Amino acid sequence: MDQRIITICGDASEEMKKIPDSSIKLIATDPPYNLSKDYGKSKDSLAFDEYLEFSRQWLKEAKRVLTDDGSIYIFMGMRYISYIYIILEQELGMTFNSWITWHYTQGIGKTRGFSPRHDDILFFTKHPASFTFNLDDIRVPQKYYRHANNMSGANPGNVWEFSHVHYCNRNRRNHPTQKPEALFERIILASSNAGDMVLDPFMGSGTSLRVCQQLNRNAVGIDINPDYKAMTDERLSGEFSGFDSFDERMKRNTFYDYNYAESKQLDFFSAIR
């Protein structure tokens, strides 16, 4: 089957209504946090109840389009994450799996209060037991050798450390909340397989679709801003020279190539030729 990467300009909730039931294996997305960010074409400063209703509408469609064994990962700021959790669990009946913390080393500076150094990611599944989780595809090298260890590597846990995509990075786009590719790489490897369909209803700069393209997943991305659709299309057509970030623990791997593919392990035999 030929790989399909589809980009759509439109409102997320309305465009998702056009997607057939139970056709998406994984939803991985970074929706607006309602923090008055400038996304060009959309309003990121809704009233409290308006934002919750906006979230409720697209999450309702998300559940509908997921396969019975599908999963959803949602990036969310601390102000609304507990409300999103309640919508997913209490209103939509989905199953909580993990609350992931993305820790970054540089963030907004504050002088009256503690500077934020993390974002959070909610991981829910449609079925409580039947869902994809490819642990062996996302293991990180063990810190110390012990006979009890799985020598393929350790579970990366629910605290992930990746730097922001700095403005000097070759993959940086003109988007206010661009996320590192390695975040989406781990999510997509863990919760989908090659050939599966992945949906990002708020694709922004196209990070999720770029990662899907390199990991042989099919993908649909939606964004209300036509400039972001054009940005994503341009990014997908560009030359690939490696993901823009990696887990620092991968430095323990002797056969890790930092110059070419910053988040890809080299095959052992290729590495020793």
Residue that the structure tokens 């209504």 belong to = 17
Q: How confident is the model at residue 162 (pLDDT cuts 50, 70, 90)?
A: confident
Per DSSP bridges, beta strands 197-200 and 218-223 are: parallel
**So what's the pLDDT on residue 184?**
93
Give CA separation, 256 vs 35, 154, 271, in Å: 38, 16, 9
Percent of the chain with pLDDT over 90: 57
Between vectors from CA 231 to CA 230 and to CA 232, what angle results, nearest 5°? Answer: 90
Phi, psi (deg, nearest 5) at residue 148: -80, -10
Tell me: the pLDDT tens digits for 213-223?
999 999 999 99
Average pLDDT over residues 257-271: 40
Average pLDDT over residues 11-24: 97
Q: How confident is the model at residue 14 (pLDDT cuts 50, 70, 90)?
A: very high
Contacts of 32 (CB under 8 A, 6+ apart): 39, 42, 44, 202
**So what's the pLDDT on residue 161?**
87
Per DSSP bridges, beta strands 197-200 and 24-29 are: parallel
Six-digit token pair at 103?
């820790």
Q: Positive or negative CA dihedral for 141, 146, 152, 154? A: negative
Does 186 have pLDDT greater than 80?
A: yes
Average pLDDT over residues 40-64: 89
Beta bridge partners of 220: 6, 199
Helix (H, G, I), strand (E, B) or coil at 234: helix
Length of the chain: 273
Between vectors from CA 195 to CA 194 and to CA 197, what angle results, nearest 5°? Answer: 115
Number of C-beta neighbours around residue 193 at 10 A? 15
Q: Report CA Rg, the chain.
A: 18
**So what's the pLDDT on residue 258?**
45
Q: How confident is the model at residue 261 (pLDDT cuts 50, 70, 90)?
A: very low
Beta bridge partners of 27: 72, 199
Average pLDDT over residues 12-26: 97
Average pLDDT over residues 136-155: 77
Does 266 have pLDDT greater than 60?
A: no
- Side-chain half-sphere of 110: how many Cα atoms within 13 Å? 8
Give CA separation, 69 vs 49, 57, 123, 165, in Å: 31, 21, 13, 32
Does 273 have pLDDT greater than 50?
A: no
Identify whether the C-beta of residue 82 lies closer than 8 Å to the C-beta of residue 120. Answer: no
Q: How far apart are CA 16 and CA 220, in angstroms?
A: 10
Q: How confident is the model at residue 33 (pLDDT cuts 50, 70, 90)?
A: confident
Tell me: the pLDDT tens digits for 91-119?
999 999 999 998 886 666 777 888 878 88
**Mean pLDDT, all residues of the chain:** 83
Q: How confident is the model at residue 166 (pLDDT cuts 50, 70, 90)?
A: low
Which range among 3-12, 171-180, 254-263 has the greatest average pLDDT?
Answer: 3-12
**So what's the pLDDT on residue 8?**
97
Number of C-beta neighbours around residue 134 at 10 A? 13
Identify whether the C-beta of residue 247 lies closer than 8 Å to the C-beta of residue 225. Answer: no
Beta bridge partners of 74: 29, 122
pTM metric for this prediction: 0.83
